[in-house]
Amino acid sequence: MTTAPPESGTVRSLGPYAALTVVAMALDQWIKYLVETGLPFQEKIGLLPFLALFRTYNTGIAFSMLSSFGDTGLIVISLAVSAFIVYLALRSTPRQLFARLGFALILGGAVGNVIDRALYGHVVDYILFHTPGWSFAVFNLADVFISLGAILVVLEEFVGWRGQPNMPKN
């Protein structure tokens, strides 16, 4: 049996991250199904003083941006960004654990939202943070995965940057 060198960026070494992508996407879709079949539309259901469930639809990307692009345009943009994320993941090394986890979460969230957009023409959002005088944009688990993934990728870059030896002085 032969094994790939530990530093190679082989597809095999990405297997666990591909599984995480599938789990993230499946969990997102399952929760959205439960929300669609069990929550009234645009009716706030308080969970905590600052957290509520609130089913609504988003025809744009994060915070309803780019809604004027239409379903097809947003799907194309999302798929292009997803392809770029796959490209970056394939170029990463096994030592870039945070980046690989981040890419997997971003991809799982992006695909979860693309599925919604392709099937329904909108994304199902349901998490609402609020105070009596303010509320944050309504979002979903896919958005959480995308945000956490982005944080992990940035963290990987920071850790990598901090680990670089000092540049020689001229």
d(CA 31, CA 35): 6
**In contact, 53 and 128? CB cutoff 8 Å:** yes
Catalytic annotation, pick one of 28, 71, 116, 143: 143
d(CA 59, CA 70): 8
Sheet of 123-131, strands arranged across: 45-48, 51-58, 123-131, 134-135
Active site residue 71: no
Alpha-carbon torsion 32, 17, 101, 106, what sign? negative
Q: Is 58 left (phi over 0), alpha (psi -120 to 50) or beta?
A: beta
Q: What are phi and psi of 52, to 5 degrees?
A: -145, 160
Active site residue 116: no
Residues acting as catalytic residues: 125, 143
